[in-house]
Structure 1
């Protein structure tokens, strides 16, 4: 890396909900500023540990564990040992060249990056993808220079300052350009996020069996997440009912899946909601019940309020109710088209432009 090249560092990850926005932002930065270097900071146990190197990205991986949902001994170990060591590792990496700005996208690696930036007097921009800011970002907000918000509703959960800027979430260009098309034989897309969703894996196939028994003709694309036997178990249910189904653990070609789908049943992570809006995908969202601050519900509510999605309560939903809901929508082209149009109106299409405007405040004069 040339020492004369300006540098932006993006810290965070863990799941696709943090990694994908980071990559989308990095792509937007490079498109805007061809000579801008983008480095990443992540965790050895996160999705970024495999995904970023596969993309040829420069990533500094930290040995850190999560602190949420664990015992006090692990929390103590992380806060008293792992976090300080992670910060020192970042500071050592920055001895040769410091970034112009540190962007924290969430996840525990983001905390170490922000602390290192504050110690180095590097400007900090936080990027909150969800409709309700996470606990860590609410704490770090008081120390940051700016916070970019994926949803306007997040602003009401922050102190009233001029730090927060509603930018929307950057959706990958290859997804944003997908054209939604209705087909004579509808296709149901099922996604549980980068880690899969056991509830969807168990409930959706059984609901689809009921639909097939009613004589409805449709196909299914089902992403079950990584796990021994998941693909085989779910595929067996579809096959037994004579349902055409493509069951995968994970897909690296989401544009192709969105292009085939008529309706999506999914968890409501921030990027899933925004990608659905970008494509204009009608959705049934089943928010993760134990998501922090119930943020997945509020993510989904953005499209539900627009008339583009329906929210199903996992605690009240079973295969019978889901089959009833799907039977009224999946093969109803007029309803799907109406939901499609309303989804498109909810998409913030200039998110990349708005986020680059925020970063421009800290990177100075950079050649395009």
Structure 2
């Protein structure tokens, strides 16, 4: 089977927001261009189907190998093979022009099926570290789109396939891109936004309220906190803020997170790829606490990039204590010019053209243009 140049674009993504959000951004852009979209992911898609209105959505069997050894891969293999077989049949029916994977093991079966059917395929890497599935299929796909110019673990032989696109963000994020940073004054309310990913993070509930309660009265009385909490943590976090006399709005999920980021003077959160991209597009300073057990320390690598650019301050979770956070907050909130500078630096890291560049790449692949250009370069022409 060869590609149908007028066929739909298949987006394959893992079931987390970090993988689905850039896929959603690409779907929005391609839909504006008149392209049909097919989404392939695992059973978690039922929680996110509203992100892809009008798309045909297929759940495909998938499994993540447990651990790094052969035993984990062998255990997952039957489910992955089942996913490849189902994906092979789906692709035969929908006849796509191109398949793009956004990482996570649910993308492996659709990408493998695309390669078997000789359909143009590419991957997108959101992080500063090439993910395991993208690393696995990198030698076989036609292009590797990347947020960063030199993702860790990219093979020397695959560097010619790398296309620097940036990490696409959703329309809701782009709508906040022109909201100016509200410079912090000596008497103004201090707006802090605290979150730890799409489902919140316990460490934020454990550390942030106590740190804020220990701040000097002159700072504490000016705080307006917005915090995303896990349901089981919400009552105790509310009690901690109430006891400290801190104004706080708590929810288990904010469906207007981009607007919340835009309103903040300072963000405290994890450093997943989507968070880092959104902080750059909107231009807000942050204290980043990388998830310590993320595969290949990708969140730490992301945070190091922003910190190195002067846009954020990284505190590893082992060092993220009430005392350490309180000291950093006193330092930053007592010197608003530091926050202002970090907001400017964050804005400079933003990649507002990412979705356009990625959509262009996908359409070029579907027409065979990117592959011809790549072959021409390899031939030395």
Q: Same fold per TM (> 0.5)?
A: yes
Tell me how many residue pairs correspond in the alignment.
357
- The answer on 1:230 being equivalent to 2:233 is yes
Change (3 A) 1:55 1:125: closer
Change (3 A) 1:279 1:68: farther
- The answer on 1:106 being equivalent to 2:103 is yes
Aligned residues of 1:25 and 1:170 also touching (Cα < 8 A): yes
Structure 1: which 5+ runs fail to align?
Answer: none
Aligned residues of 1:128 and 1:147 also touching (Cα < 8 A): yes
- The answer on 1:159 being equivalent to 2:160 is no
Aligned residues of 2:7 and 2:95 also touching (Cα < 8 A): no
1:182-331 to 2 correspondences below 5 Å: 182=183, 184-211=188-215, 213=217, 215-216=219-220, 217-225=222-230, 228-330=231-333
Measured after TM superposition, the shift of residue 277 of structure 1 is 0.8
Aligned residues of 2:11 and 2:100 also touching (Cα < 8 A): yes
CA distance in 1, matches of 2:81, 2:256: 38
Measured after TM superposition, the shift of residue 257 of structure 1 is 0.8
The Cα RMSD (Å) is 2.3
Measured after TM superposition, the shift of residue 62 of structure 1 is 2.2
Aligned residues of 1:5 and 1:37 also touching (Cα < 8 A): no
Measured after TM superposition, the shift of residue 261 of structure 1 is 0.9
Shifted more, 328-337 versus 298-307: the winner is: 328-337
| CA displacement 1:282-336 (0-9 Å, x = unmatched) | 0111111121221111111221111111111211220011011011213543222
| CA displacement 1:186-236 (0-9 Å, x = unmatched) | 1111111113222122111111111265653111111124xx422222222
Aligned residues of 2:18 and 2:274 also touching (Cα < 8 A): yes
Measured after TM superposition, the shift of residue 96 of structure 1 is 2.5
Measured after TM superposition, the shift of residue 260 of structure 1 is 1.9
Measured after TM superposition, the shift of residue 237 of structure 1 is 1.4
1:19-30 to 2 correspondences below 5 Å: 19-30=20-31
Aligned residues of 2:202 and 2:233 also touching (Cα < 8 A): no
CA distance in 1, matches of 2:274, 2:197: 10
Aligned residues of 2:261 and 2:282 also touching (Cα < 8 A): yes
TM-score, length of structure 1 as denominator length:
0.90
Change (3 A) 1:146 1:93: same
1:47-86 to 2 correspondences below 5 Å: 48-53=45-50, 55-56=52-53, 57-69=55-67, 75-79=73-77, 81-86=78-83
Aligned residues of 1:104 and 1:114 also touching (Cα < 8 A): yes
CA distance in 2, matches of 1:234, 1:193: 17
Aligned residues of 1:212 and 1:241 also touching (Cα < 8 A): no
| 2:374 equivalent in structure 1 | none
- The answer on 1:43 being equivalent to 2:42 is yes
